[in-house]
Amino acid sequence: MKYLPQNKLPQWRMDNEPSLCPLLNCQHKNWVVDHCHKTGMVRGVVSSEGNVLLGKIENAYKRLSKDAKYCSLPTVLRSMAIYLEKKSTGILHPEGFRQLWKRFSSFDKDTQLDILLKVGIKRDLLEDCKNSQDRTKLYKQYLKDE
């Protein structure tokens, strides 16, 4: 084990700065030296945003797995990635339905019309819509029929 003193930390960070954040896979300007809070050991240099996100995930995992025997956090994260990349079921959840039409209703008229045309709503139906409420009702019907 080798100790990295505080006064050497900035130079170590610059010497080990990656081209892309290993957590978020993006270019960045604000780099930090990440360490494991359990062992105190340096893990590497990551973006400040990636470091904050990792900390939140690690803290949530610790909080949620106190009374259960979950696998290790890396195993859980790999499983989550596989799950998130699965093919969609194509079934719209009731809360997802609500979120979609609520978001749609907040758009301006031109954006709403553009969305409705892109999903295949006929122009004559759009002309019958007098306001955002009518367009939202049409969009909700489209979501239910899809």
Please indicate, yes or no, if residue 67 is contained in any of the structural domains: yes
For the entire predicted model, the pTM comes to 0.75
pLDDT at residue 68, as a whole number: 65
State the pLDDT confidence band at 94, using cuts at 50, 70 and 90. Answer: very high
pLDDT at residue 130, as a whole number: 94
pLDDT at residue 71, as a whole number: 83
CA distance 123 to 35: 58
Please indicate, yes or no, if residue 16 is contained in any of the structural domains: yes
- What is the residue type of 56? K
- The pLDDT tens digits of the residues spanning 13-44 come to 999 999 999 999 999 899 999 999 889 999 99
pLDDT at residue 132, as a whole number: 96
Number of structural domains found in the chain: 2
Same domain, 77 and 103: no
Please indicate, yes or no, if residue 100 is contained in any of the structural domains: yes
CA distance 29 to 19: 10
Q: Which of 84, 102, 122 is the last residue of a domain?
A: 84
Residues linked to residue 47 through DSSP beta bridges, in sequence order: 31
Mean pLDDT, all residues of the chain: 94
Same domain, 137 and 73: no
Side-chain half-sphere exposure of 111, counting CA atoms within 13 A: 6
CA distance 66 to 143: 40
